[in-house]
């Protein structure tokens, strides 16, 4: 406990409310009210997680994220007023770990925070997962197919990792959402399908393998041929 969270949010009333709730949960919280200060503090390396608003004075949240990602893999959850799945996907592809759409329930934010921190701590060093021609070095965040490295976004990586950890077991969309996104958000289970499509494009299609299988009406499973 006592994980340190940086909250970058210019709406002071919202920031105070979130700060109060996070402190109540035992987190140590620091606030920044503009993008420039937020980036400077985020780069200090003192935080376990960053909550980052998109619409900020001085530097936008997306610009803060881009600059932060050059140096740091600290988990970042974006706070956004935007709402469509594709907007979320494009934000996630630029290096955010997760998205929370305003207005959000504090319970949802807390669940996302727990999931992001859990993903961060991960399994022990040197952990390797594999299925057929696909290998994943969890610690180094590397995936190879037939020995060739494959670039995956953070969320694609987390999804593949969860599937590999459960090789041979059929996972429902809800179970994948809960494990990878950290919250059972009703009505958005198609996020899983979107990311499965991304993974298939980069793995199955690109290398002519059959890794991720659809079990109609149930979910997805990774099987070895
Ligand atoms: Ca704002």
Domains of the chain by residue range: 4-121, 128-222
Residues 6+ away with beta carbon under 8 Å from 19: 7, 29, 31
Please tell me the CATH code under which domain 128-222 is placed: 1.10.10.10
> How far, in Å, CA of 108 to CA of 103, rounded?
11
Give the N- to C-terminal CA distance of the chain in Å, as an integer.
Answer: 43
Whole-number Å distance, alpha carbon 20 to ligand 1 midpoint, is 18
> How far, in Å, CA of 77 to CA of 96, rounded?
6
Whole-number Å distance, alpha carbon 15 to ligand 1 midpoint, is 10
Whole-number Å distance, alpha carbon 162 to ligand 1 midpoint, is 33
> How far, in Å, CA of 102 to CA of 106, rounded?
10
Query: Does residue 97 contact residue 73 with C-beta atoms inside 8 Å?
Result: no
> How far, in Å, CA of 157 to CA of 62, rounded?
21
The helix (run of H) or strand (run of E) holding residue 104 is none
The helix (run of H) or strand (run of E) holding residue 220 is strand 219-222
Whole-number Å distance, alpha carbon 51 to ligand 1 midpoint, is 12
Whole-number Å distance, alpha carbon 183 to ligand 1 midpoint, is 24
Q: In degrees to the nearest 10, what's the CA dihedral of 90, 92, 98, 101?
A: -10
Whole-number Å distance, alpha carbon 192 to ligand 1 midpoint, is 28
Of 97, 107, 98, nearest in space to 21 by CA: 107
Residues 6+ away with beta carbon under 8 Å from 67: 39, 59
> What is the reported pTM?
0.56
Of 177, 183, 52, nearest in space to 108 by CA: 183
> How far, in Å, CA of 49 to CA of 7, rounded?
9
Please tell me the CATH code under which domain 4-121 is placed: 3.40.50.2300
> How far, in Å, CA of 173 to CA of 168, rounded?
16
Whole-number Å distance, alpha carbon 161 to ligand 1 midpoint, is 33
pLDDT score, position 113: 93
pLDDT score, position 9: 97
Whole-number Å distance, alpha carbon 53 to ligand 1 midpoint, is 6
Whole-number Å distance, alpha carbon 9 to ligand 1 midpoint, is 6
Whole-number Å distance, alpha carbon 225 to ligand 1 midpoint, is 49
Q: What pLDDT tens digit does each residue of the chain (225 aa) get?
A: 589 999 999 999 999 999 999 999 999 999 999 999 999 999 998 999 999 998 899 999 988 998 998 888 899 999 987 665 555 556 666 678 888 888 888 988 999 998 888 876 555 445 788 999 999 988 788 999 999 999 999 889 999 999 998 899 999 988 888 788 875 455 566 889 999 999 999 999 999 999 999 999 899 999 876
């Amino acid at each position: 406990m006592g994980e340190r969270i940086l909250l970058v949010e210019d709406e002071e009333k919202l920031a105070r409310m979130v700060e109060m709730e996070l402190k109540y949960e035992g987190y140590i919280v620091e606030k920044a009210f503009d993008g420039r200060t937020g980036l400077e503090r985020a780069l200090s390396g003192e935080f376990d997680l960053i909550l980052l608003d998109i619409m900020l004075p001085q530097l936008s949240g997306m610009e803060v994220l881009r600059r932060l990602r050059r140096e740091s893999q600290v988990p970042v959850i974006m706070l956004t007023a935007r709402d469509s799945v594709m907007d979320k996907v494009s934000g996630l592809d630029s290096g955010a770990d997760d998205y929370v759409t305003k207005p959000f329930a504090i319970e949802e934010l807390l669940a996302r925070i727990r999931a992001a921190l859990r993903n961060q701590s991960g399994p022990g060093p040197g952990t390797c997962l594999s299925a057929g021609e696909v290998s994943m070095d969890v610690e180094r965040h590397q995936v190879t197919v037939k020995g060739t490295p494959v670039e995956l976004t953070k969320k694609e990586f987390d999804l593949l990792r969860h599937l590999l950890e459960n090789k041979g077991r059929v996972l429902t969309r809800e179970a994948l959402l809960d494990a990878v996104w950290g919250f059972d958000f009703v009505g958005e289970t198609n996020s899983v399908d979107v990311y499965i499509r991304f993974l298939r494009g980069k793995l199955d299609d690109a290398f002519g393998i059959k890794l991720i299988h659809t079990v109609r009406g149930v979910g997805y499973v990774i099987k070895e041929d």
